[in-house]
């Protein structure tokens, strides 16, 4: 399946040193990664956030400035691992919080996912 989605959020860098495409996890929306994206883009990296759409992230990053890095959290991490196993060509990947059972998992309560009040405030609901 080919996806043509645009990123949910984009932080371009003034002088590009590389590109990150972030694939969100369960219940996460672009605002969860706003601080991360602003900080990384200040260091010269373009950052795009894709809300649980790894295929769109892969299509977008394929034409981006190198080095190209796929970033995934939770189910987004599982999706990035799937892309890598299918031969997706990127320079690096950052995987965080990979779920043990993506197929059989249910949406956990936000309170079970984080104790951080700031993070709780930006988590979306499905």
Burial class of residue 101 (count of CB atoms within 10 Å of its CB; 0-12, 13-18, 19+):
exposed
Per-residue pLDDT, 122: 64
The domain covering 9-122 belongs, at the CATH homologous superfamily level, to Alpha/Beta hydrolase fold, catalytic domain (3.40.50.1820)
Digitized pLDDT (tens) for each residue of the chain, 126 residues in all: 455 578 888 877 678 899 999 999 988 889 989 999 999 999 999 999 999 899 999 999 999 989 999 999 999 999 999 999 999 999 999 999 888 765 555 555 555 556 566 666 666 544
Neighbour count for residue 15 (Cβ, 10 Å): 5
């Amino acid at each position: 399946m080919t996806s043509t989605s645009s990123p949910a959020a984009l932080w371009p860098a003034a002088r590009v040193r590389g590109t990150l495409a972030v694939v969100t996890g369960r219940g996460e929306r672009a605002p969860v990664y706003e601080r991360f994206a602003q900080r990384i883009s200040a260091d010269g990296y373009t950052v795009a956030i894709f809300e649980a759409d790894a295929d769109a992230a892969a299509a977008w990053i394929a034409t981006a400035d190198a080095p190209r890095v796929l970033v995934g959290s939770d189910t987004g991490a599982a999706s990035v691992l799937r892309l890598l196993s299918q031969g997706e060509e990127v320079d690096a990947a950052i995987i965080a919080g990979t779920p043990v059972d993506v197929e059989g998992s249910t949406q956990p309560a936000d309170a079970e996912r984080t104790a951080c009040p700031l993070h709780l405030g930006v988590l979306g609901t499905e």
